[in-house]
Amino acid sequence: MRERLHPMDLSESDRPALGRIADDLVCELEGLCFGPPVTHVYHPLSYARAPWDAYCERYGVGPREVLLLGMNPGPFGMCQSGVPFGEVNLVRDWLGIQARVGKPPVEHPKRPVTGFACHRSEVSGARLWGWARDRFGTPDRFFRRFFVANYCPLVFMVESGANLTPDKLPSREREPLFAACDRALRRTVEHFDPRFVIGIGKFAAARSSAALGECPGRVVGCVPHPSPASPLANGGWAALMDRALATLGVL
């Protein structure tokens, strides 16, 4: 079985900059196919576009000093809410975003998309946005300096429903995917003109370095990923985040 991305209706013209970047990325990715072990591909920029647009319109007007970059959506985060690391409760109650979420064209029975009715918490998202809330108090204070995005907008699932991370795809599938995501990242950096581009985890940091290359005056760095799969993160990720940002010169 090969899973093919389905096209979406694209808006043409007067969209905000991040909307145009998303439109173009969706268009580039719609023709890509992914073979076994991938059985399902979710694309929240298509079926959860309304909350993504609300997030960008409210918080994505550049410039920003710091761009935090995740790897790709999680099954109970952006897959449900359309917002990177988008743990539903924090997106709704702290970021103040709630909008209609549709369904992926082919849904995995173990990974249903229920949008803001999702009762599962995304641990990575709860840690990231919980840190932002506890550290800065209000979204406005956080977003004066920061914006959070993902490098790759797609979720890859195997037959069991487990995630397959983008770096585990075969090179013939990975290379065109990364080429499109690199272009979108470069345009996002042009939009925000950040001093710091910081990968949340080693994959996002490596892709940032590969896509952006050397740029005088811009720091490309890495902070620990808040995943529950990380023993270090489970020991207190917020403190690790503060120390990593202090080392980079952000805090």
What integer pLDDT is reported at residue 15 of this predicted model? 56
Residue-range domains of the chain with CATH? 3-248 (3.40.470.10)
Instruction: Encode burial over 94-126: b for 16+ CB neighbours within 10 A, e otherwise.
Output: bbebbbebeebbeebeebebebbebeeebbbbb
Q: Which two tokens stand for residue 92?
A: 């709704």
The stretches of the chain forming alpha helices (DSSP H) are: 17-29, 44-47, 49-59, 78-81, 88-93, 123-136, 139-143, 171-192, 202-212, 231-234, 237-248
What integer pLDDT is reported at residue 9 of this predicted model? 38
Amino acid code (one letter) for 159:
E
Give 27-81 pLDDT, tens digit per residue.
999 989 999 999 999 999 999 999 999 999 999 998 999 999 999 999 999 999 9
Distance between CA atoms of residues 65 and 146, nearest Å: 6
Give 170-221 pLDDT, tens digit per residue.
999 999 999 999 999 999 999 999 999 999 999 999 999 999 998 888 999 9
Q: What is the pTM of this model?
A: 0.92
Q: Are strands 38-42 and 155-158 parallel, antiparallel or unpaired?
A: antiparallel
| % of the chain surpassing 90 pLDDT | 89
Q: Are strands 3-4 and 66-70 parallel, antiparallel or unpaired?
A: unpaired
DSSP string, 119-180: ----HHHHHHHHHHHHHHSSHHHHHTTEEEEES---EEEETTS-B--GGGS-HHHHHHHHHH
Give 120-142 pLDDT, tens digit per residue.
999 999 999 999 999 999 999 99
Q: Which residue has the tokens 């990720």?
A: 237
